A and B are shown apart, each in its own frame.
Chain A
Amino acid sequence: DIQMTQSPSTLSASVGDRISITCRASQSISTWVAWYQQKPGKVPKLLIYQASTLENGVPSRFSGSGSGTDFTLTISSLQPDDFATFYCQQHSSYPWTFGQGTKVEI
């Protein structure tokens, strides 16, 4: 199975900050990475697919980059609505696997 390792596990930031979350795959997965945001008690929301393509309706302050084994989710200017837990996920080969999550807190 392909392991997805996210860092950091927790990130403390302020409104307006630029933040980045990284995800490393245990083997090359081209650009087969999706990123999700999950707020407490809510279902995950797809933010980015194929490593860098923004899902419809997602604000442009979110961006994704990377290929091969190293991937990054960046929020250019953190907004109050962005405090949540973020997950990367590989969909290169079964079984699909998620990173352990990064909690972004104030």
Chain B
Amino acid sequence: EVQLLESGGGLVQPGGSLRISCAASGFPFSNYGMSWVRQAPGKGLEWVSGFSGGRGGPYYAESVKGRFTISRDNSKNTLHLQMNSLRAADTAMYFCAKDRGEAVADWGSFDIWGQGTMVTVSS
């Protein structure tokens, strides 16, 4: 079974840092593009960062560029997001999401999502 399991969320003060992770299983992780998508409480979906299925990237949304760093460890089937200089506006559920397939046509559409990890930025 294909699974994504996020961890590492929590409460952090403005200006602080946090690293969240996503453990993947059930598919050849290194072959797939992966992304982080967030959702603030009661709001819509916002793509944050990701790696392309063609091993390109990383790529970032403008709102996090220079503050967040995405990385992947293909030997451990794990995706990470290092978040620095956190702001109240970064408060959200962070989902890890997998590209639908290895083909170019599947890059960037997400067929499997983790349950999410909540990040709260507050003093």
**Interface set of A (CB-CB < 8 Å, partner B):** 1, 32, 34, 36, 38, 43-44, 46, 49-50, 55, 87, 89, 91, 94-101
Contact = CB atoms under 8 A, between A and B. Distances in A.
Interface residues of B, number: 26
Contact of A44 (B52, B57, B62, B113): B113
Contacts of B115: 43
A38 B37 CA distance: 14
Nearest to B47: A96
Nearest to A97: B47
A87 B44 contact: yes
A34 B109 contact: yes
B45 A44 contact: yes
A91 B45 contact: no
B29 interface: no
Contact of B44 (A95, A96, A101): A101
A3 to B, nearest CB: 12
A46 B59 contact: no
Contacts of A99: 44
